[in-house]
Amino acid sequence: MSEDLIKIRDLKVHYRTGRRLFGSGSDVRAVDGVSLDIRRGETLGLVGESGCGKSTLGRAILRLTEPTSGSISYDGEDLLSLSGGEMRRRRKRLQMIFQDPYASLDPRMTVGQIIAEPIRTFESVSRRDAESRVTRLMETVGLSPKFIRRYPHEFSGGQRQRIGIARALAVEPEFLVADEPISALDVSIQAQILNLLQDLRAEQRLTYLFISHDLRAVRHISDRIAVMYLGRVVELADARDLYDDPLMPYTQALISALPVPDPKVEARRERITLKGEIPSPLDPPEGCHFHTRCPYAVESCKRSTPQLVEIKPRHFAACSRIGPGTPDIRSV
């Protein structure tokens, strides 16, 4: 298989909260020991409930949020040991697409200025050259170049997201973190943006980390999918494999919640309803984070933290009750 572009090892991002005048507050463990490899040219989908740390993980990879510990190796180089200035130069290769296309564009700049900003930051180009590159980029993402002097508030959500994508592509990056790029858009526009992202990946040989809570969108675009729960990756598999044969009870519940577009099947569909709320990342449960809601939890789940293990070929799960010999938790 192809080489790994990014290797994340035991990455932790903890936020300090509730700091008082005296004494320290407690930590929010947004990302709590994640290890992931992202292969060159693939799309890795990252799914999970809101608040599970998936956006924080995406930002931490780009060091927009400073990780607390762990390592991120990008193309063989440790990103976390770079100085601010060195990291700034690496940003040419790692870009990001944001969730909210209304908030991620500066309202006082024209579309041309927004897309040209990364170009002007990294390269000394003439105004004319920058403009012609912006024009090409706008065509690439399906925007008419005649709108180059317009302002973001004059566009629809889908068009703004295209502007955001054009800005991310402006310096020809290799790796894109797409942080819920379609969740703020209408369903009809979502498909357009997904298809645009897929076409761009093929044309420009991009690698994506596609973060979303929309399981269908993730299945549509991803080669592999990682499932996060309370700051940890609990399952990682090829996209098809994950949907056809989810191993973790949490993943099973997620996938069983997806409606099926066939009334007969939908009527007979068996749904796994998880009891309780997602615990607070301020005070996550001991042992396996999922044991408070897991229908199969036993006493040992409260004590030992399961590691991500290859249960089946290329299919990893973090559950101490299943193993290569006993992959089906329902029969354990």
Partner 1 sequence: MNELPKTGKVEKGASLWRDAWQRLLKNRLAVFGLVVLILMSTAVIVGPAIIEWTTGYTYDFIPDDPTLYRSMPPSAAHWMGTDDAGRDIFARVLQGGRISLLVGIISTAVSLIVGVTYGSIAGYLGGRIDNVMMRIVDILYAIPYILIVIVLLAVFGSSNSPAWIKWLAATVGGEGNQGLSQIILLFFALGLVSWLTMARVVRGQVLSLKNQDFILAARATGVRVPGIIFRHIIPNTLGPVIVYATLTVPSVMLTEAFLSYLGLGVQPPYASWGSLANDGIKNLAIYPWQLIFPGLTMALTLFSLNFLGDGLRDALDPQTRKF
**Which spans of this chain sit near partner 1 (rule: CB under 8 A)?**
59, 62, 64, 88-89, 91-92, 95-96, 98-100, 103-111, 117-118, 121-122, 142-151, 153-154, 158-159, 162, 164, 167-168, 170-171
Interhelix angle 157-169/111-122, rounded to 10 degrees, is 20
3 state DSSP class of 214: coil
Structure token digits, residue 212: 């979303």
Structure token digits, residue 295: 């229908």
Instruction: Report the residue number, 100 or 241, with the smaller CB distance to partner 1.
Output: 100
Instruction: Report the residue number, 99 or 207, with the smaller CB distance to partner 1.
Output: 99
Give the bridge partners for 78, in sequence order: 73
Measure CA 142 to chain center. Answer: 24
Do 210 and 45 touch, CB atoms closer than 8 A? Answer: yes
Instruction: Report the residue number, 117 or 223, with the smaller CB distance to partner 1.
Output: 117
Residue 222 C-beta: closest distance to partner 1, Å = 22
* Strand 175-179 relative to strand 94-97, pairing: parallel
Residue 108 C-beta: closest distance to partner 1, Å = 5
Instruction: Report the residue number, 49 or 117, with the smaller CB distance to partner 1.
Output: 117
Rounded distance, CA 269 to CA 292, Å?
A: 25
Nearest CA among 257, 258, 252, 215 for reference residue 327? 252
Largest separation between any pair of C-alpha atoms in the chain: 68
Instruction: Report the residue number, 100 or 238, with the smaller CB distance to partner 1.
Output: 100
Nearest CA among 304, 179, 213, 224 for reference residue 41? 224
Residue 170 C-beta: closest distance to partner 1, Å = 8
Do 207 and 41 touch, CB atoms closer than 8 A? Answer: yes
Instruction: Report the residue number, 106 or 283, with the smaller CB distance to partner 1.
Output: 106
Instruction: Report the residue number, 189 or 309, with the smaller CB distance to partner 1.
Output: 189
Residue 49 C-beta: closest distance to partner 1, Å = 21
Instruction: Report the residue number, 154 or 203, with the smaller CB distance to partner 1.
Output: 154
Q: What are phi and psi of 228, to 5 degrees?
A: -110, 145
Instruction: Report the residue number, 159 or 251, with the smaller CB distance to partner 1.
Output: 159
Residue 94 C-beta: closest distance to partner 1, Å = 8
Nearest CA among 45, 28, 27 for reference residue 36? 45
Residue 144 C-beta: closest distance to partner 1, Å = 5
Cα torsion 317, 73, 202, 90: sign:
positive
DSSP state string for 86-125 = HHHHHTTTEEEE-S-TTTSS-TTS-HHHHHHHHHHHH---
Residue 17 C-beta: closest distance to partner 1, Å = 14
3 state DSSP class of 193: helix
Residue 185 C-beta: closest distance to partner 1, Å = 13
Structure token digits, residue 196: 């645009």
Residue 2 C-beta: closest distance to partner 1, Å = 26
